Every structure is written in structure tokens, then in C-alpha cells.
Amino acid sequence: MQQTSAVDHYAGQHILRWLRTKGVLISILIFVFVAGCATEPKKPLSIEERVRVETALGAELSRDFETKLVFREDMELSVYLRKVAERLTAATPEFVGAAIGLFVIRDHKEDSRSVWRNYSLPGNRIYIAAGLLKKVEYENQLAAVIAIELGHLMRKSVLWRVRQHMDAESRALGALGPTLAQDANSFDHLLLPEPGQLKAVEYFGPRGVFNFNQETLLAAASDAVGILYRAGYDPRGVSALLDLYRARPEHSPYEQAVLGKLIQKTRRVIAESAPLRNPVVRSPEFLEIQKRIKKL
């Protein structure tokens, strides 16, 4: 009887230890479940909310970025550029009704050369190099300059780069965040920084937010073809603009290998489109404003 009692006692102790262990595990699981239920997942921003946040971020970026620019002021030219931009945006669903800011700036200095770099920031602010404008001979070329920047705005190119930099800083080292998406449906997954979170943004150089990868450049140039086409401009203005860069490599913002791919890509996209009837190439208004452009 004593042996049986000892066995029962041992078995009972073992069962109690097992129950206590399981009880701890169950308690942990219940705590995690309750905590997870208590923390509501962050709701995705609505379209209107995203527009407001992007506009606020753009205003914050532009205040800093514009301190690094030298502007070329000409009221008549500004009015004309805005008209071209409005014609382009009116035919582009993503920009219908949106206000566009157009600014002419001094060419970017890199080492001993002046580079025709154009920029765009969230909030629909576009900056165009004066040196490039002076060499543009056709209105559809000029429209292509604006259309490419609209392509970057559509693809939120700068916001992706800003997000990548913030993610890289938070991890100190490692992969630079998500791959820049080319599918418009993926833009909803871009985690926007809150206004006020931006710190010491780099604009120029290899780590600059305007240093886009090849896929982004190709996508924006392809978008530009469609933007010109829908607005009634001859879409060959994009390839003509790229040919201008190729003819003046000392001023081109593109590496020659990338520029060659851009030209091939845009020509292929243009060839896939039906020819426009009476597309805008060089209007009388452009010929008049060109005289002012030459004086920049």
C-alpha cells in the first residue's frame, strides 16, 4: 500500500507540474491575444488624407530644397509654362483639377560643368533648368520636360526615396527599404512619413532623393509619352528631348548607357500609339515666348 501511495503521490506531483507549465503558456497566449485585440491596427489613409499628407510633406521639402536653388524670374514665361502644365494635367486623370507650380532655376553645378537637372516635389512643384529651356526648339520638347516630372509625381518617386532613407537610418545598416514600385496599385502601401519627421534630407549626389534608379527613370519617361499623347502634343517630343541630352552629354543628367535605354524605350512606346491628327509641335505662342527664353 505504501508503494502504491508513493507512486500515486509522484504521479500527482508530475501532473501538477504539467498543469502549472501549461497554465503559464496559456496565460502568455491569452495576454498576447488580448494585447493584440486592444491595439487597433493603423487604418490606411484615404485618398484625401494621403493628398493632404503629401502636400504637407512637399511644402516641408520645398522650403528646405529651394534654399539651395537660384531662380530665374520672368512673369510671362511663368504664365506660359503654367498653361502648358495645365493642358497636360487636364488630360491626365491623376492631376485633373490639381494646381501645378512651375519654376525656372539656374543649372545645377557639378564639378566644372552645368547640368540640366529638372526636379519635382510632392505638392506638384516642378523646377526646370534654364540652360535646357534655352536649347529647346519645339514646344512638344518643352512639354516633354514637364511631362517627365509629372511622371515622377505620379509614381511618387521622391517619396519612395525619402522613405528608403528613413528606413535605412532607423536600421543604421541593411537593405534600403522596399523596392521602388512601378505598379500604381502598390502606391497605397507606401508608408508616408509624418510632417515634421523629415531630417537632413539629401537632395544631390549618389544618396540624394533625386537619384532615381533605372527602372524609375524608364517608367517616368514612358508615362510622359502617354501624358503628351492625351494632351494633344506630338509624343515624339520625349524622344526629341532625350536626343538633345545625347547631343550634349556634358549637360545631360543621365548616364549614357541609361540614356540609350530611355531613348529605345520611349521610341517603342511611341511606335505602339496611333498617330495623332494635327498634334502640337511648335505653336505661334511658343515661338513668341522662345524669344524671352533665350534671354534667361
What digits encode the pLDDT tens for the residues 120-160?
Answer: 999 999 999 999 999 999 999 999 999 999 999 999 999 99
Report the distance separating Cα 159 and Cα 206, nearest Å.
Answer: 16
Quick check: 84 pLDDT over 80? yes
Q: What is the mean pLDDT of residues 90-102?
A: 93
Tens digits of residue pLDDT in 254-274: 999 999 999 999 999 999 999
% of the chain surpassing 70 pLDDT: 74
Strand-pairing partners, residue 127, are: 103, 119
Residue 56: partners with Cβ closer than 8 Å, 6 or more residues away: 195
Q: What is the DSSP string of 192-237?
A: PPPTT---S---SSTTSTT---HHHHHHHHHHHHHHHHHHTB-THH
Q: What is the 3-state secondary structure (H, E, C) of 177-191?
A: CCCCCCCHHHHHHCC
pLDDT of the residue at 189:
58
Which of the pair, 201 or 89, is modelled with greater confidence?
89
Q: Which three cell numbers stand for residue 267?
A: 521610341
Report the distance separating Cα 152 and Cα 108, nearest Å.
Answer: 19
Element (H, E) at 119: strand 119-121
Lowest mean pLDDT among 45-54, 261-270, 280-289: 45-54
Residue 103: exposure state from Cβ atoms within 10 A (0-12, 13-18, ≥19): middle
pLDDT of the residue at 180:
40
Tens digits of residue pLDDT in 156-213: 999 999 888 777 766 644 444 344 444 444 555 566 666 666 777 899 988 899 999 9
State the pTM of this model: 0.80
Q: Are 138 and 226 in contact (CB under 8 A)?
A: no
Lowest mean pLDDT among 24-28, 68-72, 127-131, 201-205: 24-28
pLDDT of the residue at 13:
57
pLDDT of the residue at 100:
94
Q: What is the mean pLDDT of the chain?
A: 83
Report the distance separating Cα 203 and Cα 258, nearest Å.
Answer: 20
DSSP 8-state symbol, 71: B
Q: Which residue is listed with cell 543621365?
A: 254
